[in-house]
Amino acid sequence: MDREDQRRYLVVGSVILEVVTPLFQQKIEHDYTTGGFGSLQAFMNSQHVIHTLFHLRHRNSWCCKDNANCRNHVALPLVYCQWKKLYSENPGPGIHNCHCQLTANPVQLNELDISLSSLVLLNCCNLSQPEVEAVQLLRQYKNDYLSHNTTGCITQTEYNTLWPDLVTYVLRLDPTKQDDIVRIENRPLDESLCKKYFTFLLDLHQQIEEIKSTMDNVHSSIQAVSSSISRLNSSVQTTAFVMDTTVQGMGNSIQGIERSVQKTNDLLQELLHKGLTCECGRQIIIPLCNDQPRKQRKQFQLGQRIFYLHQQLNLGSLLKPDNNKMIRDVKMMDGGRLVFCLPNHHTILICNTDESETDSIHIQSEPYCITAVNNSIVAVTVFSFTEDDMSNRIEMFDINNKHKLKSMSVPEMVPYCGITVINNKLVVCCSNRLLIIDHQTGETVQTIKTDYIPGMLHASGDRIFFNDLIIERTFSNEVSKNTYTMRLKMYNSSENKVYHMALRSRSKSMTALPDGSLYVTCQDGSIHHVSNDFKHMKKVKIGNIEVLKGYSIVSYNTKQNKMVVLSNKNILSIFHE
């Protein structure tokens, strides 16, 4: 395999996954937002959209509503797994197999891949004719050069004809993507990233249909065996010749099953060798091989190396002309953008991971800690100390249009101790307690007592993690001394119980991983990996330990599968899983 051919595959695949797919998703969001819909789910539930997509999946079906606009398409571009992702059928009375029985699932924009998002764009959104052409061709390029490319390579000849057109149609949809394209074009070969993108881009539906066909043959063979056994039972009293003939028929049927099963196994092995990631494929294949329930996510071994350092950014260039601006907190949004709190300059800073498209929101107070409420809205703890305003508040902003949505006064909140989200509610720290606040109403819905001021707040699932500082004051030779004993704590909301674990060093930040385990950065520069049952802990082996020394903020984004670590020297490290 030529490394340069492989690199060209990575470059094209990166444009499709990192630029085109998010761009399609943004176009959909812009369309439904300007159309007055508050969410993607509301848009997908609208009469026009649900009716249009229904007929892209169903043939010879006529709806009880809007019958005049029913369509019978020759092709059905919406495949089963895409349809199941978007809609569920309601139980109860009504006309079966009619779109009036369907309800949109709470699917998120970033769950729509390029194939599905292009179908929604072309059939349900308002696009100009040049935009329609661009969407169609970009999807076609993905199909032509990536979806059925089992080699993971693109030759120089193919690349020379593809690349100019790819750039042209991306920039037609969004001229601001020029810098992103240039950066990706010069990307060196990253074999692990290339392998990951290969599994995302390869179209497995055709192979899956072959498996289904093979399993149909297996089923037919089993039926043949059943018929042979029935004939054998009915002819027990007949001649040996008849029995021999029947048994021979059984043998032939069993051989047919063995051949079919072997063919199925060969197909499965081929798909698994390619790195099967398609969810619809898993639903078909896994139950055939194993009756055990499929786990949603593998469990990480404590202390194992899960992440590798992908890039580092010296944020000094973003902070010019004042490189001493202190970054107090950072989060990666589900769309991949970074948001920072700069309390000394009353600013929320927003940028891409390559430092492009830098933007900022200036606020009157000092922002300390930040959390993502959804893909575009953040909640920030702020502190104001002026003659006219002395208060602690939570403020919510839309980072896309830089608009402040809400301000909620929380007088006893400690703004520098953290903010997080659990069950769509905000969690903040106060002295000796945690507050859970409904950001829709601003009301405190729950109070959780703690031993001292909780800090380094983080939530995952139904659990809230925090540390707890206990000050033990001792006197020796008439000199007082404070001893700081650090404990990591977990509040389990389903059990209404607090668990704790002793740490070897004072914790600075923490974040949950996809399997429910926890990464905790400590003052001594180490990261500790805490098991999801909160019983075990092990030090993590990370190559570039320098990025963790001192005051380090760590945050993992489950949608991006990336972890960001910010040092007190304004060095941001981005780790890929």
The reply to whether 300 falls in a domain is no
Do 274 and 348 reside in the same domain of the chain? no
Which residues span the domain enclosing 274? 205-289
Do 222 and 336 reside in the same domain of the chain? no
Which pair of structure tokens corresponds to residue 299? 């469990």
Do 51 and 159 reside in the same domain of the chain? yes
The reply to whether 21 falls in a domain is yes
Determine what percent of the chain is predicted with pLDDT higher than 90: 22
Q: Would the pLDDT of 544 be above 60?
A: no
The reply to whether 197 falls in a domain is no
The reply to whether 30 falls in a domain is yes
14-36 average pLDDT score: 92
Res 286: pLDDT: 34
Q: Is the dihedral of CA 29, 35, 39, 42 positive or negative?
A: negative
Give pairs for 116-121: CB < 8 Å, separation 24+: 116/82, 116/85, 116/86, 117/21, 117/24, 117/25, 117/28, 118/24, 119/53, 119/56, 119/77, 119/78, 119/82, 120/28, 120/49, 120/53, 121/24, 121/27, 121/28, 121/31
Q: How far apart are CA 30 and CA 369, in angstroms?
A: 29
Do 186 and 210 reside in the same domain of the chain? no
The reply to whether 199 falls in a domain is no
Res 106: pLDDT: 86
423 Rama sector, left if φ>0, alpha if ψ -120 to 50, beta otherwise: left
551-569 average pLDDT score: 83
Q: Would the pLDDT of 236 be above 80?
A: no
Question: Among 62-66, 154-158, 342-346, which is the least confidently predicted range?
Answer: 62-66
- How far, in Å, are 204, 350, 554, 560 from residue 324 at the CA level? 51, 18, 21, 30
In which band, very low, low, confident or very high, does the pLDDT at 279 lie, cut at 50, 70 and 90? Answer: very low
Q: Would the pLDDT of 321 be above 80?
A: no
**Among 157, 192, 227, which residue terminates a domain?**
192
Res 550: pLDDT: 54
CA dihedral 148, 150, 152, 153 (to 10 degrees): -80
Helix axes 3-14, 178-185, angle to 10 degrees: 160
Q: Would the pLDDT of 436 be above 90?
A: yes
Q: Would the pLDDT of 449 be above 80?
A: yes
Do 209 and 188 reside in the same domain of the chain? no
226 Rama sector, left if φ>0, alpha if ψ -120 to 50, beta otherwise: alpha
Q: How far apart are CA 439 and CA 373, in angstroms?
A: 10
Do 342 and 470 reside in the same domain of the chain? yes
Q: At a CB cut-off of 8 Å and minimum separation 6, what does 196 contact? A: none
Do 393 and 458 reside in the same domain of the chain? yes
In which band, very low, low, confident or very high, does the pLDDT at 308 lie, cut at 50, 70 and 90? Answer: confident
DSSP string spanning 171-238?
A: HHH-GGGHHHHHHHHTPPP-HHHHHHHHHHHS--HHHHHHHHHHHHHHHHHHHHHHHHHHHHHHTTTS
Res 282: pLDDT: 38
The reply to whether 303 falls in a domain is no
In which band, very low, low, confident or very high, does the pLDDT at 419 lie, cut at 50, 70 and 90? Answer: very high
Do 177 and 271 reside in the same domain of the chain? no
Number of Cβ within 10 Å of residue 239's Cβ equals 9
Res 290: pLDDT: 36
Determine what percent of the chain is predicted with pLDDT higher than 70: 71
Q: Would the pLDDT of 336 be above 90?
A: no
Res 11: pLDDT: 92
Q: At a CB cut-off of 8 Å and minimum separation 6, what does 488 contact? A: 465, 467, 468, 500, 501, 502, 503, 507, 510, 520, 530
Q: Would you call 154 helix, strand, or coil by DSSP?
A: coil
Residue type, 469: L
In which band, very low, low, confident or very high, does the pLDDT at 273 lie, cut at 50, 70 and 90? Answer: very low
Q: How far apart are CA 100 and CA 80, in angstroms?
A: 19
Do 184 and 267 reside in the same domain of the chain? no
Which pair of structure tokens corresponds to residue 516? 């429910």
In which band, very low, low, confident or very high, does the pLDDT at 58 lie, cut at 50, 70 and 90? Answer: confident
Q: Would the pLDDT of 207 be above 80?
A: no
Q: What is the pLDDT of residues 501-515, one digit of tens each?
A: 887 777 788 899 988
Do 429 and 568 reside in the same domain of the chain? yes
Q: What is the pLDDT of residues 245-263, one digit of tens each?
A: 444 555 555 555 555 555 5
Q: Would the pLDDT of 240 be above 50?
A: no
Do 242 and 100 reside in the same domain of the chain? no
The reply to whether 296 falls in a domain is no
The reply to whether 294 falls in a domain is no
Q: Would you call 134 helix, strand, or coil by DSSP?
A: helix
Do 467 and 563 reside in the same domain of the chain? yes
Pair 197, 14: CB distance under 8 Å: yes
Q: Would the pLDDT of 288 be above 50?
A: no
Judge if pTM exceeds 0.85: no
Q: How far apart are CA 373 and CA 375, in angstroms?
A: 7
Res 385: pLDDT: 63
In which band, very low, low, confident or very high, does the pLDDT at 275 lie, cut at 50, 70 and 90? Answer: very low
- How much is the mean pLDDT over the chain? 77
For position 426, which CATH number holds?
2.130.10.10
Q: Would you call 469 helix, strand, or coil by DSSP?
A: strand
**Among 131, 165, 192, which residue terminates a domain?**
192
Of 74 and 456, more confident: 456
Number of Cβ within 10 Å of residue 8's Cβ equals 23
Q: What is the pLDDT of residues 472-497, one digit of tens each?
A: 545 555 555 545 556 888 998 888 88
Q: Would the pLDDT of 137 be above 80?
A: yes
Report the half-sphere exposure of 223 (CA within 13 A, side-chain side): 6
- How far, in Å, are 155, 434, 457 from residue 445 at the CA level? 60, 11, 18
426-450 average pLDDT score: 90
Structural domains of the chain, count: 3
**Among 160, 192, 224, which residue terminates a domain?**
192
Which pair of structure tokens corresponds to residue 306? 């899960």
Q: Would the pLDDT of 24 be above 90?
A: yes
Top mean pLDDT of 146-150, 444-448, 483-487, 570-574 is at 444-448
In which band, very low, low, confident or very high, does the pLDDT at 27 lie, cut at 50, 70 and 90? Answer: very high
334-350 average pLDDT score: 88
